[in-house]
Structure 1
Amino acid sequence: MRTKAAVLVLLLALAPMSAVLASQNAPVAEGTNGDWLMVDGYVTTKFTSVGDTVSVYALTKGHSGDATTTNTVVTADILHYEDVEAFDLIVNQRLPSGGVVIDTVVLTPSGAHEDDPAALLWEGVYTVPLTATGGVYGASITAEEGNLVSTDDATQIPNALRDEIESVLQAIDTTWDTANPMMDIKNVFDGLNASGQGSGGWTSFVDDASRQPGLGESAQLWNNMIAAGYNNPSYDMADGARFLEALLDFLESSDQEAGMAFLTGVLVYGDEFPLPRTLDDFDEVVAYMQAFDPIENFTRFAGTDNFSAAYDAMVGSDEWEGLSDALDNLSNNEMVFASFQTVLRNIALLSVSAHPEAIIDGLEAWAAPLADEDYGNMTPFQRLVYGWSQMDVTVQDLDGDDFPDEILWEYELLLNTTEGLQWQARMDASYPHVSDGFDDFNTFDVDVLTILRDTTEDPAWDDAGNAVQDFLSWAANATLSKELDWSRSEDDSNDDEDGDDGGSEDSSDTWEEVIFDGLHPVETLALNKYKLDLGFELYFECEGCAHSDTPNDFNMSVTDSSGQTTNVVLDEKLDRSTHYIGRFTADRAGAEVYTFSQPMAGWTPPCVDDGCTVSRATLEFESLRPSLLESMATEANEELFVVSALGVLVDADETVPVATEMDVQASVYDAADGALFGAEMDSALLRISPGLGVSAAASLSPNGDLMFDAAGPAVQYSGDDVDGVLDVTVEPRQTDNEGEPLDDDKAAFDGYLSASGDAFGWNLSSDVNAQVSDSARGVALFTTTGITDDGLEFRYEHEAPLPDSPGCMISTMQMWSQGELNIEWTYGNFRSEDGTPYPYASLDQVDIDYGDGSSFSSTAPMDSGSESYSYDTSDGTTEHLVTVQYTTEHGHVNDLSFTFDEDAGILIDDDGEEYHTSYHQPYEDHRYCQLKGEQQSSTPSPAIIDRFISEGPFEVLDQQVLTSNAQGTVNLTAMPPHTGAYVNIVQASHTDALTGVTRTGIGFNIAMATTATVGLSGMDIIDHFAGLPVYAANVSGISQSVQVVASGLE
């Protein structure tokens, strides 16, 4: 019984929280005169049966007196959660949401808590009545004294989170009801579609527009216009002509019908989308989402045959069907153990099958003409899209409201040429439906943009935005973890605003005070039983600062809503002159608002006159005790327990040899009726074999290790499981060691190599010497791939410079004063992840062109050096293109160029955003010079995936839903394949035929499968108990010789 209870306690403790019962009470209550009361309740009995007792406890603080004199009253309402089953709670990790109070227990004080004298311990006992129907129960514990009432139950914190989320959902739904643009946009496209439908169909529309024969008819005038677009050099409107041709081709193709059906379907779908207002509404959302099939809509377009066939093949596979069935079972809370395993297995199998690749190939085949700009092989829809993308466009804002009033595409300009106007005149006179159709088409883009503008400017969005902001603020207070970053402004330029271009500038005038944005007040809630306890960490980078320039500590104040202020000292960490830590602990838990001062405000180091600066700073703080959301899982589970109203006995041998039959019999009964016939018995057999975890994990990696040698470059593989050979590709390095892209990296390998070795490695020394010149060498990405005998595809990536490659160059540009530029360089090793330096070619020459006719050149530079230059600030030229070239002994050139403004500094282009700065370093040593370590990945075969499940540490051996016979039993038989613990879990449900009342019960058994046996000789087996033999000595003398024989241990 203790073992079973311990397992259930563990399972309950692991279950995170979801949907909950509403409650307006909180564990902490506060009075107007400063008095307060807090209660923390919990249930220690996690699994019980009818007629048994449940121990209920509570701890209070803020109460009056002691155990003998207190006026506090503590009670526990016992709730039955009828909407959730025990399996649902334990396995699906779902909380109940509809508790019904069925009883109340009065708790009595027993004395102060042994670890906290200020806390008073209360105890109570709840006896489960024989009439209980079983399931999930809970205790809602309330403490009262005077006007103070505090309550602790399982649903408070999750419900608070639910309320906050639902306030956002409701605000968004309300806003969408007001600002929804979908039907207005649909009306625009319906109007376009009506042009073709009203003229007898799109083919008739195209005939009237471009195919009517005769002098001065549409065919002649259309062809004249198109030819003029292609051939008249004064027009230069070939893209417009091609678009018009593509437009008419599209209109009479099947793609037009597919496109309009898809577009209008999406708009109607979006208009009727049931945005959830509560968390319970998501079931309806999921059902609505499943009603729309984007694949079916996409496959209506021409050229999607390969994709459609590949998708149909995947949907028709056994894995997909098994996955669909398992998901249905999970949604219905049926066969949860087996279904969950099936979902994981089949997703893994599908991911490594040929289906995803075939689907991707199908998509690529459809998109290939667009990607290759192969206009001749494009579908009508693709030609339309491509033609549209190639046209020039003119956007006109006629009324100055920063919104386009006219959008003129190149085809519209062609329509307004001499030839185009002749065609339009013919349309107006003979085919007005064509003229009207083009008028609608010419304005639909502005019409749609106008609708979208009106939607985004709808005042209703302010309510949704406020709701989102309120939720983010609540979430920040519920998590109590922040990281605030500050960096020096990039637009400082040390200008002399008064125009004085002579003398030196006082460096203290350029000091920038460190102020952390986002250091907002923190609000604690009465729901959190832990008092606020924050740990602070401050660190910064000070360029030019010595240890003596930084203080021993910083101070920041914390002020509560009553005005009480506490000083927090941020002490310098040992041997870290720019790293500080501190702590603030509130007096007690409760609802409160705390504001913080800026810790570095007003600080100026002594070195400021010498030009030192803080480039960046970070202030972090986090709760040292569980935050509200962190405590949600444990706090919500403390008051829950499971009652079994039916007796469920699970009988199996306690020990069984591996590979022999194990019989499991489950019986269901109640005290009044005995064995129950017709009960539904959900029986699952789980295998737990921790010893197989290592071998299972090893099956996802090759057996050997890959030893990379950059000096070769070469690789040696220590395993013997490679099927075939190892392949390698060598490409330029693309990212730094933090994954950020390296654009135009001059130190990267300039080329591409591929080769094959054998099953034990590869060596590219001869390939590099023969195919890669010294000037093209640099840091490369080596990718080694192979496949094992078991079908495991593996991949290793290494970053390293090729032999004789240039070293790592770090350049720094600074504007010291007006017109004064300093360029520094540091040339050294690239390094491996563990800091091992790679050899590099020596620096042979440094050349600097200052862009004003002056230059610098050194043919014997040091690896570290600098050059300063002062421009003539009186010559009227302020901008200069500066070029720096570093040349190695092997002729490799690493160059950089930048624009220097004598007044503003160095021009930086940051993703299209330009600004000037007085300091710029394109690459940082720790990110650029230190290369990434070995990266390994693998793709298992279906056979490996199956073995990982069947031979791994955990497996659902079997699960069945059976019906009990007249003796109230069901039987399950399995063959244990491995050693380990075999857990048999059975949940029974029985509905009384007369009353209609459904009662539930749960039971389980743990058996061990072993490969060894122990036997006794010289004694008689007289019985078995719990699957174990009971021996007795059958002797006539004083002693009996007994032999213990073990087998299977070798």
Structure 2
Amino acid sequence: MSAVLASQNAPVAEGTNGDWLMVDGYVTTKFTSVGDTVSVYALTKGHSGDATTTNTVVTADILHYEDVEAFDLIVNQRLPSGGVVIDTVVLTPSGAHEDDPAALLWEGVYTVPLTATGGVYGASITAEEGNLVSTDDATQIPNALRDEIESVLQAIDTTWDTANPMMDIKNVFDGLNASGQGSGGWTSFVDDASRQPGLGESAQLWNNMIAAGYNNPSYDMADGARFLEALLDFLESSDQEAGMAFLTGVLVYGDEFPLPRTLDDFDEVVAYMQAFDPIENFTRFAGTDNFSAAYDAMVGSDEWEGLSDALDNLSNNEMVFASFQTVLRNIALLSVSAHPEAIIDGLEAWAAPLADEDYGNMTPFQRLVYGWSQMDVTVQDLDGDDFPDEILWEYELLLNTTEGLQWQARMDASYPHVSDGFDDFNTFDVDVLTILRDTTEDPAWDDAGNAVQDFLSWAANATLSKELDWSRSEDDSNDDEDGDDGGSEDSSDTWEEVIFDGLHPVETLALNKYKLDLGFELYFECEGCAHSDTPNDFNMSVTDSSGQTTNVVLDEKLDRSTHYIGRFTADRAGAEVYTFSQPMAGWTPPCVDDGCTVSRATLEFESLRPSLLESMATEANEELFVVSALGVLVDADETVPVATEMDVQASVYDAADGALFGAEMDSALLRISPGLGVSAAASLSPNGDLMFDAAGPAVQYSGDDVDGVLDVTVEPRQTDNEGEPLDDDKAAFDGYLSASGDAFGWNLSSDVNAQVSDSARGVALFTTTGITDDGLEFRYEHEAPLPDSPGCMISTMQMWSQGELNIEWTYGNFRSEDGTPYPYASLDQVDIDYGDGSSFSSTAPMDSGSESYSYDTSDGTTEHLVTVQYTTEHGHVNDLSFTFDEDAGILIDDDGEEYHTSYHQPYEDHRYCQLKGEQQSSTPSPAIIDRFISEGPFEVLDQQVLTSNAQGTVNLTAMPPHTGAYVNIVQASHTDALTGVTRTGIGFNIAMATTATVGLSGMDIIDHFAGLPVYAANVSGISQSVQVVASGLE
């Protein structure tokens, strides 16, 4: 036997003269035992001749994969990484494939020897002809992915070894800590700094400095004084020791962190991560008692302990079925238990003084953090290298006042350790930043960055799916360099060509047996374009590495004038690089002179055949098979009534020794009841439907399972129908309501009329909550406008030319998710203040309208604050303000980033006017979670690891609770006491549990076969009366 390393061969081999050879191997026998045969097949392309004349040779190396068990392969879909060659099979050609005449079919047979130890096996199929060698095996793609990932891991680990800043930063904080420890402890340090009595001593001078910070108006340094007080309080508190222990612990932990160099190293990483307990370190701080108690209660719960044990079992590949079910169940139980809420409450209690700025109730650590955050800071770059050389906090400025210098002089003369400590503290921020700068600028990071880029490029080629977006530049302006007004005759000068960034070459790999087959989709938004302005098709070229170019036509989709599709298919599979031309480069529509523009465009392409990563699981499993070296018989009645005992007996044996004593038998009993799926899913939602009526507003609930009453809250709408936040939405309800109804609904018509004025009405979020008799907490959310609310206003601002502003408005219905319009208050008045003393007002506006205005471009003022107000019949005012620059256009603030544009629409109709549909969520009780598992469509009824007796058997007894199929899976493992060789085997049995029975009378039971009775008629005459009696079918 010889070890097989990760092969560099691939299914596709290419010669220098354009000749090529591809092989695709597979095994049709997936489960077998010693002495049986395995059918091995291969398909080749690029071979010479036919089945009788070909010079191609195809062989299959049979490998034993010892790094993965059968259960792990079947249950967890874990793939092997390397195997051992145990035999070789020569395949013979049998003829062309029936569906593809260019493919030649090869066949071979492997006989499993009686000495096989069992487990996961595979075939590595190789085709050879001349200098061409192509190989297809189960580990090629997984190992290629593994190599790419590990190259990144190794580069990062090597870089971290060079650039790791952790110990350097720790040395800075160790130096700070030494200031207190070297003077007899931090309490002595604080005494020397601020408590020594007497004239001219530290207490007097310290108090003078602090008082000056608070009280001297020429200083205005109250925050600096407060920070110095908080600093000394912190230094002699238990929080100082906790903070330093936590900080240095984290730094040492990070310095020694075992960054993985291979995927196999992650086990060590997990073990190392578990060795550090951040919760324990956090609970050393003052004020964390409630949090600590809640966390300890969760960790000590049965659910947590069961979860931990199950995770350990899964990591060791033990009790896989039962452990997986336990993990899901206990995570669900913990999520709905009181523990998470108690932990959050404890954390919020600790953080509450900080959140509320309640300085008096803050812990010493919180006062230090809060005081630091309140101080002014001055950052000085003295040498112009864009890096701070000095960071002066407000407390440092206080130290340099007259009072502060007097205190410092006393420290220098009598308490130099205090002076040294403050000197170290004053510079530690720059010291740490310098270390971090040196770390980030370390040239070693270039190697890590290159490794990441190489991996991302490989992954992109292995997935073959991209979406490239283009959008028009936001800083465009219609004025030209000569200062002309830039009318429509110059609009072609502002046309922006569509060029997709990221349209990089695609590299196909020899590992992929599928030829490149890409589908393209191009679509864009053209403002001002008519159907006649867009072409019937676009063209893009695809060029391979030899220079051969193929033209791809992107045809217009029917009835979609800005939507195009196309396809490119390569001649064959293989390693190749393809480059693409820009499909919209050079295109200018006829309407460009009228000012039409493309605002955004998207080019998508994806592989129409399986990509390398998509095919990994199927391609790997094609060559794998499982061998049972031990005989495993699982015996149980084929049918059994529900709620009666079902006995499962598993026996393990081999051909030489017979029954095996002491074998480890992992026995799992799985229930599959598809009929229970609907009822299980129904248990996670209330029985009835909630019917929402915005006209009330009111809700009616059709179920009868509500425990108590339904509660409702009404709040302003916060997001559009795509979840994006709506800041300062003028059409949103301005207020808050809460009420309770009964078990069948609520009605807020009187509450709205009594508590909400017409001018405060708008789009609201209605949240209905309740709890069912079973303990299911449910929540429904509906968006709708309150009665007499304003409609949906869409405003559009455009700069038509220099100094010319156009404002358009469209006023109409808000709509439900299905498009149903909601009534709205009529528009009563439109007012526009152009910011230069001019205005527009209409007291009888149309629901859709526009106004244009030309500014005086010669008056020296180019920037104007424009205000637009829309007023409804009920006095609701919807206003917006923006700054208009006569030369640059409308000023936009996008999350703090300001720019000018010639076109701006604050809200889009399809996102703003169309409201979200009903949103439902529920939180099941622990009892419901238990029922979902025990009464759902799938359940691990039992799993045990047992040891076989002298007869080679183990027994498992269960009582089927529901109808369905009961699958008994047993994996056996036996180690020979003399040779130490471990052999494995697997067996299974399927039984059915039913509520009904069928009996025969007039016949005799003479035997049983596969758990079913065998009947014989005891006939004395020429006929025998037989009765069939069915029960339980009612």
TM-score of the superposition, structure 1-length normalised? Answer: 0.98
Q: Could you say if the C-alpha distance between residues 757 and 21 of structure 1 is closer, same or farther in structure 2, counting changes exceeding 3 Å?
A: farther
SS at match of 1:542: strand
Q: CA deviation at 1:887?
A: 0.3
Q: CA deviation at 1:18?
A: 23
Q: CA deviation at 1:499?
A: 2.2
Q: CA deviation at 1:21?
A: 6.2
Contact persistence 2:698–2:745 (CA under 8 A): yes
Partner Cα distance (1:175, 1:294) in 2: 26
Partner Cα distance (1:805, 1:504) in 2: 40
Q: Could you say if the C-alpha distance between residues 40 and 776 of structure 1 is closer, same or farther in structure 2, counting changes exceeding 3 Å?
A: same
Q: CA deviation at 1:1016?
A: 1.0
SS at match of 2:2: coil
Q: CA deviation at 1:502?
A: 7.9
Partner Cα distance (1:163, 1:833) in 2: 48
Q: CA deviation at 1:154?
A: 0.2
Partner Cα distance (1:931, 1:21) in 2: 59
2:102 aligned with 1:118, yes or no? yes
Partner Cα distance (2:683, 2:912) in 1: 35
SS at match of 1:191: helix
Contact persistence 1:19–1:279 (CA under 8 A): no
SS at match of 2:765: strand
Partner Cα distance (1:785, 1:226) in 2: 54
Contact persistence 1:37–1:61 (CA under 8 A): yes
Partner Cα distance (2:443, 2:974) in 1: 56
SS at match of 1:19: strand
Contact persistence 2:630–2:654 (CA under 8 A): yes
Partner Cα distance (2:831, 2:507) in 1: 59
Q: Structure 1, residues 727-761: CA drift from partner, whole Å, max 9, x if none?
A: 00000011100000000000000000000000000
The farther-off stretch of 349-358 and 80-89 is 80-89
Q: CA deviation at 1:20?
A: 11
Q: Which runs of 5+ in 2 are unaligned?
A: none
2:526 aligned with 1:530, yes or no? no
Partner Cα distance (1:98, 1:299) in 2: 46
Q: CA deviation at 1:1038?
A: 1.3
Q: CA deviation at 1:22?
A: 1.8
Contact persistence 1:19–1:97 (CA under 8 A): no
Contact persistence 2:488–2:595 (CA under 8 A): no
Q: Structure 1, residues 168-191: CA drift from partner, whole Å, max 9, x if none?
A: 111111111111111110010000
Q: CA deviation at 1:83?
A: 2.0
Of residues 548, 552, 555 in structure 1, which corresponds to 2:539?
A: 555
SS at match of 2:712: strand
SS at match of 2:783: strand
Partner Cα distance (1:173, 1:648) in 2: 47
Partner Cα distance (2:459, 2:665) in 1: 42
Contact persistence 2:4–2:85 (CA under 8 A): no
Partner Cα distance (2:664, 2:995) in 1: 34
2:366 aligned with 1:382, yes or no? yes
Q: CA deviation at 1:329?
A: 1.0
Q: Structure 1, residues 437-490: CA drift from partner, whole Å, max 9, x if none?
A: 000000000010111111111111111111111111111100000001111111
Q: Structure 1, residues 854-903: CA drift from partner, whole Å, max 9, x if none?
A: 00000000000000000000000000000000000000000000000000
Q: CA deviation at 1:506?
A: 1.3
Q: Structure 1, residues 86-139: CA drift from partner, whole Å, max 9, x if none?
A: 111112221222300000000000000000000000000000000001000000
TM-score of the superposition, structure 2-length normalised? Answer: 0.99
Partner Cα distance (2:452, 2:26) in 1: 34
Partner Cα distance (1:96, 1:565) in 2: 41
Q: CA deviation at 1:408?
A: 0.5
Q: Could you say if the C-alpha distance between residues 20 and 975 of structure 1 is closer, same or farther in structure 2, counting changes exceeding 3 Å?
A: farther
Partner Cα distance (1:530, 1:93) in 2: 23
Q: CA deviation at 1:496?
A: 2.0
Partner Cα distance (2:542, 2:72) in 1: 45
Q: Could you say if the C-alpha distance between residues 18 and 830 of structure 1 is closer, same or farther in structure 2, counting changes exceeding 3 Å?
A: farther
The farther-off stretch of 497-506 and 696-705 is 497-506
Partner Cα distance (1:904, 1:193) in 2: 57
Contact persistence 1:656–1:1010 (CA under 8 A): yes
Partner Cα distance (1:185, 1:735) in 2: 44
Contact persistence 1:21–1:96 (CA under 8 A): no
* Count of matched residue positions in the alignment of Structure 1 and Structure 2: 1034
Partner Cα distance (2:290, 2:726) in 1: 37
Partner Cα distance (1:168, 1:394) in 2: 40
SS at match of 1:805: coil
Partner Cα distance (2:77, 2:186) in 1: 56
Q: CA deviation at 1:723?
A: 0.3
Contact persistence 1:18–1:94 (CA under 8 A): no
Q: CA deviation at 1:376?
A: 0.3
Partner Cα distance (2:130, 2:779) in 1: 70
Partner Cα distance (1:671, 1:98) in 2: 29
Q: Could you say if the C-alpha distance between residues 732 and 105 of structure 1 is closer, same or farther in structure 2, counting changes exceeding 3 Å?
A: same
Contact persistence 2:2–2:84 (CA under 8 A): no
Q: Could you say if the C-alpha distance between residues 402 and 98 of structure 1 is closer, same or farther in structure 2, counting changes exceeding 3 Å?
A: same
Contact persistence 1:58–1:141 (CA under 8 A): yes
2:881 aligned with 1:902, yes or no? no
Contact persistence 2:666–2:944 (CA under 8 A): yes
Partner Cα distance (1:82, 1:236) in 2: 74
Q: Structure 1, residues 340-376: CA drift from partner, whole Å, max 9, x if none?
A: 1111111110000000000000000000000000000
Q: Could you say if the C-alpha distance between residues 502 and 656 of structure 1 is closer, same or farther in structure 2, counting changes exceeding 3 Å?
A: closer
Q: CA deviation at 1:503?
A: 6.4
Q: Could you say if the C-alpha distance between residues 429 and 178 of structure 1 is closer, same or farther in structure 2, counting changes exceeding 3 Å?
A: same
Q: Structure 1, residues 217-263: CA drift from partner, whole Å, max 9, x if none?
A: 00000000001111111111100000000000000000000000000
2:853 aligned with 1:869, yes or no? yes
Partner Cα distance (1:505, 1:432) in 2: 79
Q: Structure 1, residues 806-862: CA drift from partner, whole Å, max 9, x if none?
A: 000000000000000000000000001111000000000000000000000000000
Partner Cα distance (1:614, 1:788) in 2: 53
Partner Cα distance (1:936, 1:787) in 2: 13
Contact persistence 1:18–1:95 (CA under 8 A): no
Partner Cα distance (1:296, 1:869) in 2: 67
Counting only pairs closer than 5 Å after superposition, residues 467-546 of structure 1 correspond to structure 2 as: 467-501=451-485, 505-546=489-530
Q: Could you say if the C-alpha distance between residues 503 and 733 of structure 1 is closer, same or farther in structure 2, counting changes exceeding 3 Å?
A: closer
Contact persistence 2:3–2:83 (CA under 8 A): no
SS at match of 1:505: helix
Partner Cα distance (1:500, 1:114) in 2: 73
Q: CA deviation at 1:142?
A: 0.2
Contact persistence 1:481–1:621 (CA under 8 A): yes
Contact persistence 1:30–1:148 (CA under 8 A): yes
Partner Cα distance (1:926, 1:460) in 2: 49
Q: Structure 1, residues 959-995: CA drift from partner, whole Å, max 9, x if none?
A: 1111111111010000000000000000111111111
Q: CA RMSD in A?
A: 1.4
Q: Structure 1, residues 476-535: CA drift from partner, whole Å, max 9, x if none?
A: 100000001111111001122112348665111111111111111000000000000000
Q: Could you say if the C-alpha distance between residues 824 and 73 of structure 1 is closer, same or farther in structure 2, counting changes exceeding 3 Å?
A: same
Partner Cα distance (2:1001, 2:828) in 1: 88
Q: CA deviation at 1:19?
A: 17
Counting only pairs closer than 5 Å after superposition, residues 1008-1027 of structure 1 correspond to structure 2 as: 1008-1027=992-1011
SS at match of 1:276: coil
Contact persistence 1:511–1:613 (CA under 8 A): yes
Q: Tell me which residue corresponds to 1:805.
A: 789
Give identity over the alignment, percent: 100
Contact persistence 1:505–1:817 (CA under 8 A): no
2:399 aligned with 1:409, yes or no? no
Contact persistence 1:60–1:119 (CA under 8 A): yes
Partner Cα distance (1:151, 1:855) in 2: 79
Partner Cα distance (2:993, 2:976) in 1: 38
Partner Cα distance (1:1002, 1:692) in 2: 29
Counting only pairs closer than 5 Å after superposition, residues 276-291 of structure 1 correspond to structure 2 as: 276-291=260-275
Partner Cα distance (1:636, 1:1031) in 2: 48
Q: Could you say if the C-alpha distance between residues 937 and 504 of structure 1 is closer, same or farther in structure 2, counting changes exceeding 3 Å?
A: closer
SS at match of 2:151: helix
Q: Structure 1, residues 751-801: CA drift from partner, whole Å, max 9, x if none?
A: 000000000000000000000000000000000000000000000000000
Partner Cα distance (1:580, 1:503) in 2: 32
SS at match of 2:489: coil
Runs ≥4 residues deviating over 6 A: 17-21
Contact persistence 1:21–1:155 (CA under 8 A): no
Q: CA deviation at 1:576?
A: 0.7
Q: CA deviation at 1:617?
A: 0.6
Partner Cα distance (1:960, 1:410) in 2: 67
Q: Could you say if the C-alpha distance between residues 919 and 1001 of structure 1 is closer, same or farther in structure 2, counting changes exceeding 3 Å?
A: same
